[in-house]
Structure 1
């Protein structure tokens, strides 16, 4: 008998709810991007990045893949780690120190990215749980 089979039901449910929350956050970001991809590209351009429309579509595709991984549990650890890097990048690129002087609320948005980062790192370590999880991994462990 291993720890996975002795996990209390409430913990398995909590992990599943966490996965659903991660999926929902990235799904909302994806939907908003696709609903007005030109506005997203404009926001990316204002941050000074080249090829903003291409980057907007790449971000949308990436977020779609993250949603699939969080919903299915497949490549969950890898997805959580990549999402963690993405979230930190977004925090610095769009809400970092250069934005704080113009709008104090930007500091709060920046800090929120690190709260999200903490959850993603915790999820990456603990995996997708045992409920509704395909448990595929490039790291050689389910």
Structure 2
């Protein structure tokens, strides 16, 4: 096995873990809305999730660890996708925010600042900010 094969499989594990995190938020109310389903389908394509993996993750997302990327920008992008999933059904549930904060900690955002980061992420998505503006704002709030 070449080093590029190892990198690819490690990267794919990160993608699977991220997709599982998005599924956890979608399933928090035990119903996947049409908006959430569309977002899941798009995320699966973007993250190269196979049909078999999709089915398995949808069934038991808790079986898959988060596996955060090393890149800070990639971690912010994951937070962006998670926050978008919270709003996919056009309502925000308290349990979704709690899960989001736990996932943000798993994405290596500092525990003492995670509430502020997640609150800002929610505010940014509410105001329809795209990824570039989202990334810039989160960096200012997180001050790493």
TM-score by length of 2: 0.31
Q: Larger radius of gyration, structure 1 or 2?
A: 1
TM-score by length of 1: 0.31
